[in-house]
């Protein structure tokens, strides 16, 4: 795992105009960098001021004052990164912010890569890997549920649950090895039956914890979803109604939508990555043909299919073909019976046996969409799980580590039941413990750490 290299600097506030911009510096030479580009107005050196207390002064670039601002000094280890940290606050103009950043670079700091400050916090033991991932989620959040999932109490619930399972499994492994090393001494805390029962309970608890990833993924990552239907059934109007804005062009001309449009759509606690697609039909138009092929590809990669049907017009062969597609869809399929504000020429009874759940909706009036949203949220998340109260697995990395632990414990239980030598069963239990340790980053490879922080913004 790569360690800390040099003293780094970056702008930690968003680009553009603002009242204040913050430039962060972290590393052994952070204070030395600050002393070269910041002069306190009271004439005292930075070292003469108490830490964690704002100092007012001038920011210097190439020997000239470029701005007045505030400096905060956080000495190691009591800082975000665990290193010496300086935060320079200046006025928030883009050019001015760049000049202050340049001043820190000329004073000896080097540019920070994406996520470097949080990465250093993790390597210094200030944060667990799950904490770091949650910070990334909080920064990128587009729904209140994502913010809630990233909050400290939610993180602590998962950390506590994983830690408790880790300690229970470690105690059982100790008993297993005591039986191996001292078979005639009866030094094990638990009998073989008690060990087997204990591992079975841990396996059941791990399985339940792993199952929360269905909800965590729906909140954190979002589920790929697609609106499909034949031309002119109102897909794009439904798309706009769901999003609450005019994202797609809507006309009465069939085949208006040619490309795939994708937007995030909160549905209750869940998030859909919703795509609007070209109407599905045979066409001689070469451009529309490309759109239809892209629509089919998008449907193939989706986990939620929202099939739009026009209930004000008779069902045609194209509708029947799409209904067959919905019946066979490998994920969650829902029928949207659009134009419910117009007289219907058919009803739900005409959809036939095995039809997916259906909702009367009107893109024109907005009727029916609240019920649809409530259904989708319930179908994609576990309503029994409470954010901040229950441990919820939130990332694919955590889920994969838990899945590995479950697989190893299942094999361990099978080995114990079949009378396999106890050292082999203990080895499988140890492997499960190693996988469990990866969930919160107690043991994790440098490649995984680098991959996680590569998705952070520069300055965090």
- pLDDT for 255 equals 46
Instruction: Kindly state whether residue 1 falls inside one of the protein's structural domains.
Output: no
Instruction: Kindly state whether residue 77 falls inside one of the protein's structural domains.
Output: yes
Instruction: Kindly state whether residue 375 falls inside one of the protein's structural domains.
Output: yes
Domain boundary among 69, 94, 128: 128
Residue 213 near residue 399, CB atoms below 8 Å: yes
State phi, psi for 122 to the nearest 5 degrees: -65, -45
Instruction: Kindly state whether residue 456 falls inside one of the protein's structural domains.
Output: no
Pairing of strands 304-310, 270-276: unpaired
Residue 60 near residue 38, CB atoms below 8 Å: yes
Instruction: Kindly state whether residue 16 falls inside one of the protein's structural domains.
Output: yes
Taking the model in full, what pTM does it have?
0.76
Cα–Cα–Cα angle for 402, 403, 407, rounded to 5 degrees: 115
Domain boundary among 70, 97, 128: 128
**What CATH number is given to the structural domain containing 27?**
3.30.1360.120
Q: Are residues 232 and 376 in the same domain?
A: yes
Instruction: Kindly state whether residue 446 falls inside one of the protein's structural domains.
Output: no
Instruction: Kindly state whether residue 107 falls inside one of the protein's structural domains.
Output: yes
Alpha-carbon distance of 229 to 451, in angstroms, equals: 38
- Which residues are CB-contacts of 395 (< 8 A; sequence separation ≥ 6)? 130, 133, 216, 220
Q: Are residues 232 and 359 in the same domain?
A: yes
Q: Are residues 26 and 98 in the same domain?
A: yes
What letter does residue 262 receive in the DSSP assignment?
Answer: E
Residue 383 near residue 268, CB atoms below 8 Å: no
Q: Are residues 167 and 292 in the same domain?
A: no
Tokens standing for residue 282: 């045979």
Residue 72's Cα: distance from chain center in Å? 31
- pLDDT for 254 equals 46
- pLDDT for 299 equals 85
Domain boundary among 99, 128, 157: 128
Q: Are residues 247 and 320 in the same domain?
A: yes
- Which residues are CB-contacts of 312 (< 8 A; sequence separation ≥ 6)? 339, 342, 343, 344, 345
| HEC letters along 207-247 | HHHHHCHHHHHHHHCCEEEEEECCCCCCHHHHHHHHHCCCC
- pLDDT for 98 equals 95
- pLDDT for 249 equals 44
Residue 122's CB is within 10 A of a number of other CB atoms, namely 24
Q: Are residues 358 and 406 in the same domain?
A: no
Q: Are residues 369 and 229 in the same domain?
A: yes
- pLDDT for 42 equals 95
**What CATH number is given to the structural domain containing 310?**
3.40.50.300
Q: Are residues 201 and 275 in the same domain?
A: no
Q: Are residues 178 and 225 in the same domain?
A: no
Number of domains in the chain: 3
- The kind and range of the H/E element at 405 are helix 396-417
Pairing of strands 55-61, 38-40: antiparallel
Q: Are residues 29 and 59 in the same domain?
A: yes
Q: Which domain holds residue 59?
A: 8-128
Q: What is the mean pLDDT of each run of 10 residues along the chain (460 residues)?
A: 75 91 96 96 94 96 96 95 96 94 96 90 84 82 90 87 89 71 51 81 95 95 91 86 66 48 89 83 57 77 93 89 91 94 90 90 92 94 92 91 94 86 82 85 53 56
Tokens standing for residue 231: 């031309």
**What CATH number is given to the structural domain containing 207?**
1.20.120.430
Q: Are residues 364 and 254 in the same domain?
A: yes
Q: Are residues 145 and 117 in the same domain?
A: no
Instruction: Kindly state whether residue 134 falls inside one of the protein's structural domains.
Output: no
């Amino acid at each position: 795992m790569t360690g800390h290299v040099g003293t780094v600097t970056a702008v930690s506030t968003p680009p553009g105009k603002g009242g204040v911009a913050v430039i962060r510096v972290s590393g052994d030479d952070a204070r030395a960098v600050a002393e070269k580009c910041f002069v306190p107005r009271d004439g005292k050196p930075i070292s003469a001021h108490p830490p964690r207390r704002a100092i007012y002064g001038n920011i210097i670039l190439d020997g000239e004052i470029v701005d007045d601002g505030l400096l905060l000094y956080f000495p190691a280890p009591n800082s975000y990164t665990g290193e010496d940290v300086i935060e320079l606050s200046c006025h928030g103009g883009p050019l001015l912010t760049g000049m202050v950043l340049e001043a820190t670079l000329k004073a000896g700091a080097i540019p920070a890569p994406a996520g470097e400050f949080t990465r250093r916090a993790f390597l210094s033991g200030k944060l667990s890997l799950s904490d770091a991932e949650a910070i990334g989620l909080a920064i990128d959040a587009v729904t209140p549920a994502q913010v809630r999932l990233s909050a400290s109490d939610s993180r602590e619930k998962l950390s506590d649950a994983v830690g408790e399972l880790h300690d229970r499994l470690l105690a059982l492994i100790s008993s297993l090895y005591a039986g191996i090393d001292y078979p005639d001494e009866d030094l094990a805390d638990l009998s073989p039956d008690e060990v087997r029962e204990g591992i079975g309970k841990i396996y059941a608890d791990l399985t339940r914890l792993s199952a929360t990833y269905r909800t965590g993924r729906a909140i954190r990552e979002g589920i790929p979803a697609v609106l499909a239907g034949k031309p002119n059934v109102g897909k794009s109007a439904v798309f706009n109604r769901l999003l609450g804005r005019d994202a797609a062009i809507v006309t009465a001309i069939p085949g208006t939508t040619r490309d795939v449009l994708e937007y995030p759509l909160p549905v209750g606690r869940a998030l859909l990555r919703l795509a609007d697609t070209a109407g599905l039909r045979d066409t001689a138009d070469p451009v529309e043909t490309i759109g239809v092929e892209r629509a089919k590809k998008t449907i193939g990669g989706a986990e939620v299919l929202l099939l739009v049907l026009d209930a004000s017009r008779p069902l045609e062969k194209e509708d029947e073909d799409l209904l067959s597609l919905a019946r066979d869809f490998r994920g969650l399929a829902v029928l949207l019976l659009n134009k419910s504000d117009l007289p219907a020429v058919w009803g739900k009874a005409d959809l036939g046996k095995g039809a997916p759940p259906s909702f009367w909706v009107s893109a024109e009036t907005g009727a029916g969409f609240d019920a649809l949203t409530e259904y989708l949220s319930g179908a994609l998340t576990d309503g029994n799980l409470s954010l901040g109260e229950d441990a919820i697995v939130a990332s694919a990395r955590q889920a994969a580590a838990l899945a590995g632990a479950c697989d190893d414990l299942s094999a361990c239980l099978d080995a114990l039941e079949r009378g396999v030598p106890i050292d082999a069963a203990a080895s499988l239990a140890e492997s499960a413990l190693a996988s469990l340790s990866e969930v919160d980053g107690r043991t994790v490879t440098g490649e995984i750490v680098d991959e996680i922080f590569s998705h952070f913004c520069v300055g965090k």
